[in-house]
Amino acid sequence: MNDTAKPPRYEPFGWHHWPEDFWMSYQFRRGLGETQEGGGAVSEVFQAGSKIIANDFDSWHREWMHIGERNDLRGDEEFGRKHIRTAMNCWLRAANYFREAEFWLAADDPRRLPTFDRCEEASHKFLRQLTPKAEIVDIPYEPGKPLPAYFIRSANGGDRQPVLISVGGLDSFKDELWFMTGRGALQRGMSVLLVDGPGQGGALRRHGLVTRHDYEVPIGKCIDWLTQRKDVDPARIAVSGSSLGGYYAARAGSMEPRLAACISHGAIWDIHERWKTRDDNHGLAGHIKWVFGAKSMAEATEIAKPFKLEGVLDKMKCPYLIIHGGHDVLGVEAVKKVHDYAVEHGVNATLRLTSEEETGAEHCQHDNPTLGQELMLDWLADVFELDQTSLAHYPG
């Protein structure tokens, strides 16, 4: 730290590691929060943070890769010794560290896809040891361009289970969703389909699938795939979306009648209105342009014009939860507008704002993702009338 740098501090939205670098601090806080869901170790995250230089993306990549590779190697070694639980823990940490390492790399950086590959490979090693074994699947979407996904059944939910389809947002993808929604659903007797939709994860990186406003189309493809299975209850399929995915979920919940419940994990009313003043110097401009298939922020905001809930949300027929951080970087006015519009149009909508006092007040509860999972998945368990007192509660 140089003499003029402000020291790290705790804010209403959580630990702020580099006060002079808002966006890098936000991403660090995200990795730090996910340690409590198995996505890291507090000491390792701070070890990496102590060597990262604010606004130096190469140092960011290097230090997250270092702890990722260390855990991945240890996982392989412990697996060879038949220490399965330790191996799984190491691989899960490695997957999230590799995800962090990839984050700030440019879309055309030659390190990006290999780093993403390392993230997926570590996830796959972890998932294959679960009971029941997770399935690494491709959801049919466009010819030669499927949506990569993980289908995971609960050990606790019986033969025919309700399912949560979970998607990320602008920068989150299926491998992170374990820490945001997946683990909590499985604990409560629900299966999960963690999926990379258009503009996300492997769908974007491998197939060049950019985002689209009518997200009921990819979600509909997921439902088509799920309803062919005998271990899925087709009357109890829900969707959740985090961050930008809060729009995706709301759009799908409004336009896809087969959905029985919908969760916006962070809600957005109108993406064009939100972004229209942002230029190419914005901290996430590179990612926004990549996800939207645009060459400039001006073009991205033009593409974003149909990404709005006015005239859409009034079509929703299923119960709808909006959960949003009270100190979210995106503010709270838009989320109140989403909720009020929904209620005015007869939607069974619930708004839950998380506060500074209880923590989890950051965007998508990144400072306390455990709280976010508990609030979302208990709500969904109640909607699906799951009796949690009848479940077996396994350690972890």
Q: How confident is the model at residue 100 (pLDDT cuts 50, 70, 90)?
A: very high
Q: Exposure pattern of 32-58 as b/e (b: 16+ CB <10 Å)?
A: bbbbebbbbbeebbbebbeebebeeee
Residues 230, 346: one domain? yes
Residues 94, 116: one domain? yes
Q: How confident is the model at residue 3 (pLDDT cuts 50, 70, 90)?
A: very low
Residues 232, 342: one domain? yes
Count of the separate structural domains present in the chain = 2
Residue that wins the pLDDT comparison between 119 and 2:
119
* CA gap 187, 33 in Å, rounded: 19
- Say if CB 180 and CB 209 are below 8 A apart: no
Residue-wise pLDDT for 105-132, tens only, equals: 999 999 999 999 999 999 999 999 999 9
Residues 242, 221: one domain? yes
Overall average pLDDT of the 340-368 stretch: 97
Predicted confidence (pLDDT) at residue 297 exceeds the cutoff of 50: yes
Residues 265, 332: one domain? yes
Overall average pLDDT of the 119-148 stretch: 98
Predicted confidence (pLDDT) at residue 295 exceeds the cutoff of 50: yes
* CA gap 193, 150 in Å, rounded: 6
Overall average pLDDT of the 7-33 stretch: 95
Residue that wins the pLDDT comparison between 1 and 25:
25
Predicted confidence (pLDDT) at residue 303 exceeds the cutoff of 80: yes
Overall average pLDDT of the 170-199 stretch: 98
Residues 72, 146: one domain? no
* CA gap 214, 127 in Å, rounded: 30
Q: What is the mean pLDDT of the chain?
A: 96
- For the chain, the straight-line distance linking the first and the last C-alpha, in angstroms and rounded, comes to 37
Q: Quick check: is 49 in a domain? A: yes
Residues 16, 71: one domain? yes
Q: Quick check: is 342 in a domain? A: yes
Decide which of 110, 129, 148 is a domain's last residue.
129
Overall average pLDDT of the 201-225 stretch: 98
Q: The domain that contains 311 carries what CATH number?
A: 3.40.50.1820
Residues 169, 234: one domain? yes
Q: Quick check: is 6 in a domain? A: no
User: Which residues touch 352 (CB under 8 Å, ≥6 apart)?
Assistant: 321, 322, 323, 324, 375, 379
Q: Quick check: is 107 in a domain? A: yes
Angle between helices 216-226 and 244-255 (to 10 degrees): 70
3-state secondary structure the chain: CCCCCCCCEEECCEEECCCCCHHHHHHHHHHHHHHHHCCCCHHHHHHHHHHCCCCCHHHHHHHHHHHHHHHHHHHHHHHHCCCHHHHHHHHHHHHHHHHHHHCCCCCCCCCHHHHHHHHHHHHHHHHCCCCCCCEEEEEEEECCEEEEEEEECCCCCCCCEEEEEEECCCCCCHHHHHHHHHHHHHHCCCEEEEECCCCCHHHHHCCCCCCCCCCHHHHHHHHHHHCCCCCEEEEEEEEEEECHHHHHHHHHHHHCCCCCEEEEECCCCEHHHHHCCCCCCCCCHHHHHHHHCCCCHHHHHHHCCCCECCCCHHHCCCCEEEEEECCCCCCCHHHHHHHHHHHHCCCCEEEEEECCCCCCCCHHHCCCHHHHHHHHHHHHHHHCCCCHHHCCCCCC
Predicted confidence (pLDDT) at residue 2 exceeds the cutoff of 70: no
Q: How far is CA 216 from the centre of its chain?
A: 18
Residues 93, 175: one domain? no
Predicted confidence (pLDDT) at residue 250 exceeds the cutoff of 70: yes
Residues 242, 379: one domain? yes
Predicted confidence (pLDDT) at residue 156 exceeds the cutoff of 60: yes
Which pLDDT belongs to residue 4? 59
Domain of 90, in residue numbers: 11-129
Decide which of 129, 161, 181 is a domain's last residue.
129
Which pLDDT belongs to residue 1? 45
Q: Exposure pattern of 128-166 as b/e (b: 16+ CB <10 Å)?
A: eeeeeebeeeebebeeeebbbbbbbbbebbeeebbbbbb
Q: The domain that contains 72 carries what CATH number?
A: 1.20.1440.110
Predicted confidence (pLDDT) at residue 284 exceeds the cutoff of 80: yes
Predicted confidence (pLDDT) at residue 322 exceeds the cutoff of 70: yes
Q: Quick check: is 290 in a domain? A: no
Residues 142, 249: one domain? yes
Q: Quick check: is 282 in a domain? A: no
